[in-house]
Amino acid sequence: MTTLQLQNIAPPYTFVSLGTYNHRLEKYEESTLFPINTTITLNSGKFPLTDYKDLHEHSNQTHCIGHKTVKIIGFTNSCMEGQLNKYGNGNIIVEEVVPVNP
């Protein structure tokens, strides 16, 4: 799981990777999906988000960010429609979608 912080609140939406949060150490560590401080652009997928129904587990939606297909598994209020970066920088938590071999 990689946390991405919203940088640009108008299209094209850009994010900076904060890395993977280690709850035990209470800090971000390097991510294999997007290295820390990498700037990436949302290429496709719904954004801003509306509510919990936009999470992958409820919608099966995927997003293309930095030419990788990811699923959003969490986000802050500041990533919601009409509230972009209103309560601080918006964050989304993503995981890479791994293709299933037939």
pLDDT at residue 53 is higher than 70: yes
Mean of pLDDT values over 41-65: 93
pLDDT at residue 82 is higher than 90: no
Which residues have CB under 8 Å from 47's CB, separation 6+? 13, 63, 79
Tokens 């209470």 locate to 26
Sign of CA dihedral 63, 65, 67, 68: negative
Mean of pLDDT values over 71-94: 93
pLDDT at residue 102 is higher than 70: no
Q: What is the DSSP letter of 102?
A: -
Q: Band of the pLDDT at 13, cuts 50, 70, 90?
A: very high
Q: What is the DSSP letter of 99?
A: P
Q: What is the DSSP letter of 13?
A: P
Q: Give phi and psi for 52, each to the nearest 5.
A: -60, -20
- 55, with CB counted inside 10 A (0-12, 13-18, 19+), is middle
Which sequence spans correspond to the domains of the chain? Answer: 2-96
